[in-house]
Amino acid sequence: MQEFDDGVLTVGTALARATGWLHLPVEVFSDYGFVLFVLLWALCWRRGASRPALLAALVAPPVAWLISIGLKVLVTEPRPCLTLKDLYTVQPCDPPTDYSFPSNHATIAFAAAVAILVLDRRLGLVALIVAVLIGATRVYLGVHYPHDVLAGAFVGSAVAYLLVKLTVRARGGRTPGSAPPRPGPSPAPRR
């Protein structure tokens, strides 16, 4: 796994080294691409998503972020810039106490994307593309291993899916992809 991680990270940072003109746009998107999730959430609201589901979709990213912080403290994995000699990075290396696993950016992005996906499939697919791009920026910038991003994607997705689905079900509502309520027994035909 480590060879795969190092290989993907090396390719990502080599791409960064060769595309200096992309550094600023990638850094901006990495940090501010989250605004797109707010716009997509607002579109879910306009399309009539239930208030409890919308609230759960807003709460999912901060809850996932808190879980991610807890995992960082438990795992204490150093960032690649601290462990890989001669690694090219776009941004300065964070301090040793700012751990790498899992990626908070990926956790928050995938929590937002999956929450939106549960509310609205079409908007959710757009949100997932944004989340994947945010995750990829973290490797391009040299601040995360690919497994950090994948773990963040898993944590964020799981938290959002469970939180939004359970909220909707507890309120008796439906989300896209759920089966409609079954009708009760039919009365016997009259003769």
Q: What pLDDT digit, counting tens, does each position of 99-157 carry? A: 999 999 999 999 999 999 998 999 999 999 999 999 999 998 989 999 999 999 999 99
Q: Tell me if the pTM is above 0.75.
A: yes
Contacts of 154 (CB under 8 A, 6+ apart): 102, 110
When pLDDT is averaged across residues 62-87 and rounded to a whole number, the result is 91
**Amino acid at position 33, single letter:** G
Say yes or no to pLDDT of 74 above 80.
yes
Could you give the C-alpha distances from 82 to 26, 93, 121, 145, 163, in angstroms and in order?
22, 7, 40, 12, 35
On the question of a cis peptide bond just before residue 80, with omega within 30 degrees of 0, the verdict is: no
The domains located in the chain, with CATH, are 2-89+96-170 (1.20.144.10)
- How far apart CA 103 and CA 147 sit, in angstroms, is 9
Question: What percent helix, strand, coil does the chain show, rounded to 5?
Answer: 70, 0, 30
- How far apart CA 22 and CA 159 sit, in angstroms, is 32
Share of the chain above pLDDT 70, in %: 88
